[in-house]
Amino acid sequence: MTAPVVVCEGLVHIYKDRVIEVVALQGLDLVVEPAEVVAVVGRSGSGKTTLMNILAGTEVPNAGQVVVAGHDLTAMSERERDEYRRSIVGYALQHSQANLTRDLNALENVVLPMHAGTMRDRRQRAKELLDGMGMSALAGQFPGDLSGGEAQRLAVAIAMANGPELLLADEPTAELDEATAAELLTDMRSLLTARGTAAVIVTHDHNVEKHANRVVQIRDGRTSTETRWREAEGTFVADEVLIMDRAGRLQLPKAFVERLKLRRRVRAHLEGDEVRIRPVEGQDE
């Protein structure tokens, strides 16, 4: 059985300064299988960015375990982290132009981060990546001449330059219209599939979710629900399940809590092979 590309168990991350302490992650679990595309969703402040920074090797969690492609990110030296960021993970930032070097053309931008092979080999690999992202005809164009969608396509090609085992993409469609976003996602998914690369994509775009194998929602620093999209009778149908952590804790969807008027205490009992939850009568507001 093939080992997962990503295993996060009980991640805790706390930001501190002299006057405030913010718990960004509080026991987050996540597993990503080889070649799997996982979309991560959640409100601002839910912990998405912190998770991405940890997976990118730029932050270290305060507690918990995180292993990516066999690399324990909690036990790395700075040299090992540099090599990890060069070879194991690729990161396409939210603002596409932040990924690009403005005085290099598209082909040169993809070649720039490569560190293996002759220059001829690197240029060939760069051409193949540009082709995979539908950018072959624009190889000689400079970033300033590219549209938003083209710049984002180039950013993905750059992130894939060293054949990473994990691609991280932060809001890849945030700056794009719906049609352009759909075309980008289709080509990006095809490239990931062809390369056997896993991906974690942070997004607020529901269309991105339909290009992923799974959608994981983060609430209050923990993974709370998981959705798998499937096509049935020409339309997409969502199958959603709750995620239970190792301590047996669940986060109920907000809509359930509001509809049942659940507060601090609830009653739970077994009924056959089901668990029933209902509010406790007479609770204080």
Residue 70 CA to residue 88 CA, distance in Å, equals 10
Distances (CA, A) of 71 to 57, 65, 82, 213: 10, 11, 12, 24
DSSP state of 237: E
Confidence of residue 239 (pLDDT cuts 50, 70, 90): low
Residue 198 CA to residue 169 CA, distance in Å, equals 11
Q: What average pLDDT score do residues 91-114 get?
A: 91
Q: Which of 201, 191, 212 is closest to 133 using CA atoms?
A: 191
Q: Which of 209, 220, 205 is closest to 173 using CA atoms?
A: 205
Phi-psi region of 171 (alpha: psi -120 to 50; beta: other; left: phi over 0): left
Q: Where does residue 232 rank: exposed (0-12), middle (13-18), buried (19+ CB within 10 A)?
A: exposed
Residue written as token pair 């609830």: 266
pLDDT, mean over the chain: 88
Look at strands 214-219 and 37-41 and give their pairing. Answer: parallel
Domain positions in the chain are 6-245, 252-285
- Does domain 6-245 bear CATH number 3.40.50.300? yes
Q: What average pLDDT score do residues 203-215 get?
A: 86
Residue 188: how many other CB atoms lie within 10 Å:
29
What's the pTM value of the predicted model, to 2 decimals?
Answer: 0.85
- State residue 133's pLDDT score: 96
Q: Which residue has the higher pLDDT, 27 or 281?
A: 27
pLDDT, tens digit, for every residue of 148-195?
999 999 999 999 999 999 999 999 998 899 999 999 999 999 999 999
Q: How far is CA 222 from the centre of its chain?
A: 14
DSSP state of 247: T
Q: In this structure, what token pair is assigned to residue 274?
A: 């089901």
- Least confident segment among 120-124, 204-208, 210-214, 254-258: 254-258
Query: Residue 92 pLDDT > 90, yes or no?
Result: yes
Query: Residue 211 pLDDT > 70, yes or no?
Result: yes
Q: How many residues does the chain have?
A: 285
